Amino acid sequence: MSPPSPNHLPADLIPIARGVRLLILDADGVLTDGTINLDSEGVEFKTFNVRDGLGLRLWMRLGLEVAIITGRSGGALRARAQELGIAMVLDGVSDKASALAGLLSRLGMGAGEAAYIADDWPDLPALQMVGLPIAVADAEPAVAAAAAWRTPRPGGRGAVRDAVEAILGAKGLLERAMCLAVGDPGPARG
């Protein structure tokens, strides 16, 4: 099975991406398009992208870690994270840099082993800490300027999948991920 055409990272980011073991996501504006829907009872619901979900599942099946650090709390995000098997959800966080530092410490990882996908100003301190800072296509200009790479698609519309494919491509794992997606164990992990 030949791999899909990956979202290519610039050559100078390939060595950095090869070392990434942890993908950290903001929620609103990254996993979603940033829209917050409330019904008449004040119950929140959100829309998530199924392709982002598949990318995250494959990322984790390849033995890599995912965490979500978000300023908001809500049942919709917790339900989606549980559905995807993401155990590390830090919600209601006002200081994302401190949360990130604590997470890296608990996992025994260095900041260079992490990629962070962001869209807005509260993400800037954490974004600037990691080895591979990524902005979604529709990120605020300051966030885009702080990122090493921008996804082709906007938040909630495939941006996470763009990043997953780009990093897995750099790691030489994209074909294996595609094989896993179709139920074929594919080539052995190298």
pLDDT band with cut points at 50, 70 and 90 for residue 5? very low
| Inter-residue contact 100 to 93 (CB < 8 Å) | no
- For the chain, the structural domain boundaries read 11-181
How does pLDDT run across 103-161, given as a tens digit for each residue? 999 999 999 999 999 999 999 999 999 999 999 999 999 999 999 999 999 999 999 99
In CATH terms, the superfamily for domain 11-181 is HAD superfamily/HAD-like (3.40.50.1000)
Q: Report d(CA 74, CA 92) in Å as an integer.
A: 9
Residue 43 scores a pLDDT above 90: no
pLDDT band with cut points at 50, 70 and 90 for residue 42? confident
pLDDT number for residue 185:
64
| Inter-residue contact 20 to 169 (CB < 8 Å) | no
Query: Region 165-187: what's the mean pLDDT?
Result: 89
Number of residues written out for the chain:
190
The burial of 144, by beta-carbon neighbours within 10 Å (0-12 exposed, 13-18 middle, 19 or more buried), is given as: middle
Residue 4 scores a pLDDT above 60: no
Residue 40 scores a pLDDT above 50: yes
What is the percent of the chain where pLDDT is above 70?
A: 93
Give the pTM.
0.92
Residue 13 scores a pLDDT above 70: yes
Q: Report d(CA 55, CA 50) in Å as an integer.
A: 9
